[in-house]
Structures are given as structure tokens and as C-alpha cells.
Chain A
Amino acid sequence: MTRTLKRLVAAVLLFGLAPVAGADQLLMVRSGQLFPEAMSTLQNALTARGYKISRVQNVDKGLSHTGYRTDNYKVVFYGKAEEVAELAAKHPELIPYLPLNVAIFAERNNTLLVTNRPGVLADFFPDPELKATFMRWEKDLSEVMNEVREAR
């Protein structure tokens, strides 16, 4: 294929990455799975794409211990060690947004997942060098979120 054609194909493929939630700047999905299953699906989908779960923050436990009522509510932090280290070294302004995270919480028999679109970070940090990274994250995360949404 010629270079022009390759670019055209790339543009079409990129255009074809349909957004998960319209014009929203958040990626939000509802999973029909119960919370434990949805959490498992999320973690498996992330690790299948080469990410490692660095921590699961038990927001619900903290709230319960201090006397507040809540359903299951966790925040999953994830990333790729080398990528995070490299970005932190070259673009320290990104550090407060690392590692990436997904909030996951129960709503009755469903589970909801929320995270910001990685593409939003391109507005926050307009350095052209970062754009490819944000777009790759957005693609991966859109796939992950769709996988959780469709899991039964």
C-alpha cells in the first residue's frame, strides 16, 4: 500500500473507534453483572491488554468504618510499569493523573463503571508527543468498558 493509502486506512480505523458514551467526557457503562463478577471482568479485561492492577481502593470499607451506609464502591488503579515510569520522567506534569483508574460501584443488581476519557487528557496536556499515548489508552479503555458492558 502507498503511504497515502496507509494514512487513509489509519484515519478510517481511528474514525471507526466509536465513542462509548456520546459527547460525554466520561466513559460510563452499566454492566448487567453483579458487582463481584463485574469487578473480575474489569480486571481480566485490563490485564488481557497488558495492564497491571496496582491497587484496589476500598472506598466502601472506609465509609462503612466511619459510619456511612454505602453499597460496593471501589476504585481500580492500573497501568504499565515501564510506561508510567517513562511518562513520569519525561512529563512530570502528568504524574497526578497516574496511575489510571476506574471507579466501579454497585447499583442494585447492576454494576456501574466510570472513568474519564483518556482523550480528555489531551485537552489538559496538549503536548503533541502525548497524543498517541492518550489515544491508545482511549482505544484500550473503550474496549475494556465495552467488554464489561457486554459480559453476562
Chain B
Amino acid sequence: MALRYVTLMVFALAGAAQAAPDGAALFARNCAVCHGENGAGGIGVPLALPSFQAAVGDDYLHKTIRLGRPGRVMPPSNLSDAEIDAVVRFIRSWRKQPAPRISAMPIKGDAARGKQLFATHCAACHGASGEGGRGTGVTFSRPRDLPIMPPALNNSGFLASASDGMIRQTLIRGRAGTPMVSFLKKGLKEKDIDDIVSFVRSFEPAPHPEAAAAPEAEKAVLEMDSPYDLAATIENVKRAATSQNFIFIREQALTSGLAPEGEEDPRQHIVYFCNFTMLNTALATDPRVGLFLPCRITVVEHDGKVKIMAINPKRLGKIFNNAELNAMCDEMTRRYLAIMEEATL
């Protein structure tokens, strides 16, 4: 009997493994949230844009999905190669023409000259060091000032995915539908473009340092013991938050809204506060930071001791894969600690 179950299960698993991956379903589940259901783009590149599809090969798409963009929101994928290929085929299905053939040959240009050209023609959008556009969340829940976020050309994921030929094609063709125009139409020669390609390739030995930051060293929770009783500590937290330029929003029991009214544990209180300027900046950087909202510190009486606790933004922030957000999370951790220290003085 048991053997029959095992045999059936092995066959079922083998069958599932052989079934062709459904690219549309995989895209909907893994990609659509950022790139849009039909590839119209959001925080992610508008993948359906004909000028984008005409300039990138399947290999670029495959590697991009596999590697992601460290520190720039897009995570690396753990899909199998077959699944990634299915996603690439689905992306290609929006365009009726076959994928372009992009040369994999390295381009030998003058990187020093390319640096000057890059500063003149590229840096305004892509940053002086190819760090990309700021405000990675600009297209999430915000008024759209840009149709696309200028990519970070110094990103290790980009450099590992893009061949010299792909970068060259992009410079030659531009990206119709985005602010990027054809560099040939801007009056540059093919030799100039090769020099820029070589300069972009020179970013390779020094990818964005934030991308390699290891989060594990940080504790998930900030906590301090309070020498005061519960009620006094709660008042201290409110006062300290205000002195750190936050507005007190409300105070409630941890299980408020969950437990029947009057049955909440009075020994666990959350103090909510907000600095709307910081909030607005954070949301413009990465609108997914709702997980932090509103700012809160919990005051807990446990075994006769009063403790104040908060999430550690520096630790939680790392799961967003957004280097620009990391700096803000560091600042929030500093502010939380300042409030906690002041409240427990």
C-alpha cells in the first residue's frame, strides 16, 4: 500500500517536472507587480516597449531575471532555467518580430574619452558614476514625472547581463517612448558610442557597494530596559518622539481591535508617531515601506520589568533590495534609538 503511494507520488512529481512551464502565469506571479500585467512598466522597465525589445537579446532578459539588480529593487530569481526561458518567451510574445541577434563580442573603445562623452550625454539621467536615477519608487503610487526610471549602469546585475553589443544597440537606437534618444541622431559617431560602451564596461570592477551589504549582522529588534513604570515609560516615549520631530498619532494596546474591548492586555502598549516629511521622502524612494508605517515603539511590562522595543529598520530595510532606501533606514534606526534612549534616561 505504502509503496503504491510512493510510486504514484514519484510519477506525479515526474509529470509535473516535465510539464512545460507556463510563462504567462510565472510572469503574472513574479514580474507583473513591477513591470505591469502587459509589460507597460511601473517601477520596472516597460518590457513591452518595442524599442526595448528591439535592443535586447533573450540572453540579456534571462540573465537579468536570474541575477536581478542588487540594491535596485529587482531581486534575483530562484526560478529554474526552463521557467525563466518560459517567462522570456512570454515577454517576447508581445512583439511579433523575433528577438534581435546581439553580438556577444567585446567592444574596444577608448574608455577615457568615453568618460567625457558619458559626462556630457548620459550623466544627467544615469548619474555621474552610472548609479541610475534617484527615487526608485517614483512610479509607484506617485504622480508619474518619468515614463521610466533611468537604470543604474554601474549595477553588477546589469553589467553581468548586458553585452557590449546590447549597450551599443541601445545607444544607437535610443529608446523611443522614453527620454533616451538615439545618440546617432544627437550627432555622435559610432566611434564615440564605442568609447561610451567601454567606459560603461569600466564600471565592472567596482559595482555599487551598497549591493553587497550583509544584513545578518543587524538585530531584528531594538530594545532597551526602562527604569520607569509602564505608564511613565509610555509618556516618556511620546515626549521623546515629539522632541525628535515626530507627531504623536495614538497609543493603543497590542491586541486592540483583535481582542474584545476591555480584554486587551494592558501591559503591552504601542505608541504610534509620524514625521510626514520623512514619510513622504521614504515613499518617494520606495512606496513599499508601508511595512514600517506608522513609526511605532512598543512598551511592554514583562516579568515585572518594563522594556521598550521597536523593529530595527536597518535590518528590515535590507529585504527591500533598495540601496537608496538603506540610507533612510539607517537614519530611522538612529532616530528610534534616540527616542528610546531619551525615554529611558
B-binding residues in A (CB < 8 A): 1-2, 4-5, 8-9, 12, 18-26, 28-30, 32, 52-55, 57, 59, 62-63, 66, 68-73, 75, 77, 79-81, 84-85, 88, 92-93, 95-99, 101-107, 110, 112, 114-116, 120-121, 123-125, 146, 149
Which residue of the partner chain A has the closest CB to B5?
A: A5
User: Do A103 and B291 have beta carbons less than 8 Å apart?
Assistant: yes
CA distance A102 to B293 in the complex (A): 10
B219 nearest CB neighbor, chain A only: A124
B255 on the interface (CB 8 Å rule)? yes
Residues of chain A within 8 A (CB-CB) of B143 are 69
Q: Is the CB of A95 within 8 A of B279?
A: no
The complex places the Cα of A80 from the Cα of B310 at a distance, in Å, of 21
Contact of A95 among B30, B78, B79, B298 (CB under 8 A): B298
- CB-based contact B77/A112 at 8 Å: no
Report chain B residues within 8 Å CB of A121: 220
- Number of interface residues, chain B, beta carbon within 8 A: 65
B42: Cβ under 8 A from any A Cβ: yes
A-B contact pairs, 30 of them (CB 8 A): A5-B2, A5-B5, A8-B6, A9-B5, A12-B9, A22-B75, A22-B76, A22-B79, A23-B75, A23-B78, A26-B320, A54-B257, A59-B290, A71-B141, A73-B141, A73-B290, A80-B258, A88-B254, A92-B300, A92-B309, A95-B254, A95-B309, A98-B254, A99-B254, A103-B290, A105-B290, A114-B288, A114-B291, A116-B291, A116-B319
Nearest chain-B residue to A51 (Cβ)?
B258
In the complex where A30-B36, A93-B221 touch, is A84 in contact with B255 (Cβ < 8 A)? Answer: yes
Do residues B76 and A23 form an inter-chain contact, with CB atoms below 8 A?
A: yes
Q: Decide if B258 touches A84 in the complex (CB within 8 Å).
A: yes
Q: How far in angstroms is the closest Cβ of chain A from B309? A: 5
Say whether B11 faces chain A, with CB atoms less than 8 Å apart: no
Given A22-B78, A95-B300, A114-B291, check contact A29 B33 (CB 8 Å): yes
B residues near A, CB below 8 A? 2, 5-6, 9, 13, 28-30, 32-34, 36-37, 42, 68, 75-79, 139-143, 216, 220-223, 249, 254-260, 265, 268, 274, 276, 279-280, 283, 287-291, 293-294, 296, 298, 300, 302, 307, 309-311, 315-316, 319-321
Are A88 and B287 also in contact (CB < 8 A) when A8-B9, A54-B257, A120-B319 are?
no
Given contacts A5-B2, A29-B33, A68-B276, contact A84 B254 (CB under 8 A): yes
Instruction: Looking at the assembled complex, report how far the CB atom of B148 sits from the nearest CB atom of chain A, in whole angstroms.
Output: 15
Q: With the chains together, A68 CA to B78 CA distance in Å? A: 38
Closest to A97 in B: B311
Enumerate chain A residues within 8 angstroms of B320, measured Cβ to Cβ: 26
Query: Do A96 and B309 have beta carbons less than 8 Å apart?
Result: yes
Q: Closest CB-CB distance, A4 to chain B, in whole Å?
A: 8
A88 to B265, Cβ gap below 8 A?
yes
* 15 further A-B pairs in the complex, CB-CB below 8 A; given A62-B249, A63-B276, A84-B255: A21-B30, A23-B68, A23-B76, A28-B33, A28-B288, A30-B33, A53-B257, A59-B294, A62-B294, A70-B280, A75-B293, A75-B294, A96-B310, A103-B291, A146-B29
Q: Across the interface, do B254 and A77 meet the contact criterion of CB distance under 8 Å?
A: no
